A and B are shown apart, each in its own frame.
Chain A
Amino acid sequence: MIARRAGLCALLAMAAISAAPTEASERVSLRRAGVTVVFDRRDEDFALKFVERLPPLLKAEKVALATPGDTSLAEFKKNREVYLAAAARYLGLKEPTRGMRQMFDSMTKSVTRQEDALASALSIDTVQIWREPELIARLREHGEDEYFQPGGKDASPMPKNGWNVSVNSRHSSIVKFSGTLRTRAFLPVILKEDDPADLAARVDLHVQQAADYLRTGITADVSTIHDLEVGMVLHEVVEWKIVSTFISSADRRWFCEGMANFIAYRALVDATTPERARRHYDLAQQLVKWGSQERQVDLANWKAAEKMTGTEQESDLNTAQYAYATKVIADIAEKHGVELIPRWFGEIAQTPRDKVTMKTVADAFVRLTGENLASYYPGPLFSLP
């Protein structure tokens, strides 16, 4: 994808403007080597000057996309043994197993593919130049469109560049931009009434703003991608190990997901710091985000993923259950210390895996703590005693 951008500078210089009617008659576009610049015909002078300055912006974008954050996938892969050893300790294992290593390698390959798909999607293919008052008026009249939504009290336009990624059954990554049909990011250029009157100064200002937008946006996105990936890989490795070694009964869901999240987080705490681990999974933030689902959360009856319909899997409630399952384990660790977790797995392992159900898990918990596991299940925050 990034190689495809080679030679962009030359092509931009040679391309011609072509009028392309859009829904507003005065909107026109010019296309240069894969990048479409859309603007009002009255701003043609600005657009032409701005286009001349695009090559270094795109080059900087390319560099930002290729620059790893402080938890790059490469660093994560390199330190595989450190992370897996930390996770293994919480599972009561002396060291990571061969299967855990294989799962780690397989998962990191999968997320590398995902990373490529995201990097491609995050590289802009469109520049949208708008006069701010006109864009605000348009959003007020018609509501959000493919590129912008009204935001804040003053209805200032907000670019719709938020993304999410999913993997289909063929393990291809699919990137979607929130609330749009777009598959690629775009660069917003908003001309304001108090912009400098001088054309060169105005172009300078917006080139600088565009550079800031691309740099901060992409740096944050790349960092977020890496953070999510690292947490996700560890989660999957731990969950696989729990299911393949300790419990595979149909009622296992919350325990496996909660433990996988918690142990992945703890492994990251041990290998790095809590501040960095929270970038991979911030339970407090997740609980705030999914708090509205709390009364519907039913961990004991949370179906295993293979028993769920597609709609059930994509529901907010399903996502919320992850947070509340993690909270149960985090609460237990807060009350009894994290040392209880490997001891708990040791107790569970006294029963052959094919005989283990959540009753076995709860019984093991009673033996260790004298407490009822169900007492840790979520209840309404403001419930009356």
Chain B
Amino acid sequence: MKGIWIPARTIVGAMLLATAATSAAELPPREMMAKDGWTIEFSPVDRPTAEKLAACAGELERARSAAVGLNFELSPAALGTRSAELAQRLSDLCALPDRRADFQAEVARLAVGLGGLEGEIAAAVFPRSIAIWRKSELIQRLGAGKKIAGFSYHGAGNDVSFDFNPHWTMDKNHAVTEHPEPIGVLPVKQPEDVVVTDAAIATMMNDFQGLCGALGGTMTLGLRVQTFGGIETGVRKILETESTADPSAKWISVGAARWVARQALVQTTSPQVADRYTVLADRTLQAAMQKPDPIDLEAWPAAQESHHYAAANQIFRNIAEKHSLAAVTRLLAEFWKLPPAQRTSAEFRQLYRHLFQESLEAEVPVGVRFGSG
């Protein structure tokens, strides 16, 4: 599944400087200094600024550490610790008590995958390097074809911008298959021919703390969304092994997986906390349900189709709303009692009619149907 991208244009705005360029040949070599785990890169002329920043390195590191070390409800570490509890809830909700160990293995694997990802995201998002740049230097270097990570030169407007967009992908076994690319450095603007004052440095420290808070929040959101997606994927994998190869039944494992993942989070934390994990999934579902085209849930498309996913999930939500949470688990329990070859959509609908004395079609969103009839 695709990870959330972290917009970082908050940094970009600070980088746009306003002075004329000098020629590339006049540009001096860059220098480096290190303090408290931070490195600062600068041009010799900006050494006074670099020294002032180096004096603040300890403060920078504290702000960075606080943001990186943000703890949240089901952080990867907490997920690992609580894997048995979560697995119990998942297996109970799915009415698959014999598969509890499989659920726990899924959650534990997800915790490991997310733990590694958390570190990668932190490293990608929170740099420990500062690069002091004047706009004139950037234009000269970039204009001469030199590559500087994160920077783009817009020749037409004689302007530069800084941007980064870390994103990642996890596969269905919770392994990171696409890694977030590190931002590398935190760019700091150096006005042309102006001595940076202590007040300006103090302002920058404040800005940096705000930036760390914002990036920490965004990183946490990304991890929450990934956690929910991982749990849902794990549940779906297990449900699919319980289903037949009959494609008509695919909507059952898909629809039940998201519902079960949400309920497990609600029971482990609270509905409001669960909202933080499901917010993107819920909005995708809302948007997909606005799609007016009629769909047949028993004819699952080869390509991922959000409307099918949304409709399948909505049916399980509707069943729970109409008959209670326990009713969904009861329905699933009865379904698993059928011989595997009979675990089809038609049998599921028959079971529903038998258990609740009404047709499942009544719980189906507008435009959604079972079969072509």
Contacts and interface: CB of A to CB of B under 8 A. Distances in A.
A117 B213 CA distance: 53
Contacts of B318: 273-275
Contact of B322 (A269, A335, A337, A383): A269
A376 B269 CA distance: 12
B70 interface: yes
Contacts of A331: 270-272
Interface residues of A, number: 24
A382 B276 contact: yes
Contacts of B350: none
Contacts of B5: none
B365 A275 contact: yes
A375 interface: yes
Interface in A315-331: 330-331
B70 A381 contact: no
Given A275-B366, A375-B270, A384 B282 contact: no
Contacts of A102: none
Of listed A269, A332, A335, A385, residue having the most chain B CB within 10 A:
A385
B70 A385 contact: yes
Given A269-B322, A274-B318, A288-B286, A382 B221 contact: yes
Contacts of B276: 381-382
Greatest chain A CB density within 10 A among B216, B272, B283, B322 is at B272
Q: Is the interface of B mostly helix, strand, loop or mixed?
A: helix
Contacts of A335: 266-267, 270-271
Contacts of B272: 331, 375-376, 378-379
B266 A334 contact: yes
B324 to A, nearest CB: 7
The contact size tier of chain B is: 20 to 34
A147 B283 CA distance: 33
A284 interface: yes
A307 B129 CA distance: 56
Contacts of B44: none
A384 B324 contact: no
Contacts of B216: 384
A274 B321 contact: yes
Interface string B274-287: 01100100110010
Contacts of B279: 381
A183 to B, nearest CB: 31
Contacts of A378: 272
Contacts of B217: 382-384
B4 to A, nearest CB: 11
A269 B364 CA distance: 13
Interface of A: 269-270, 273-275, 284-285, 288, 330-332, 334-335, 337-338, 375-376, 378-379, 381-385
Given A273-B322, A378-B272, A381-B275, 18 more contacts: A269-B321, A274-B318, A274-B363, A275-B363, A275-B364, A275-B365, A284-B282, A288-B286, A335-B267, A335-B270, A379-B272, A381-B279, A382-B221, A384-B213, A384-B216, A385-B71, A385-B72, A385-B220
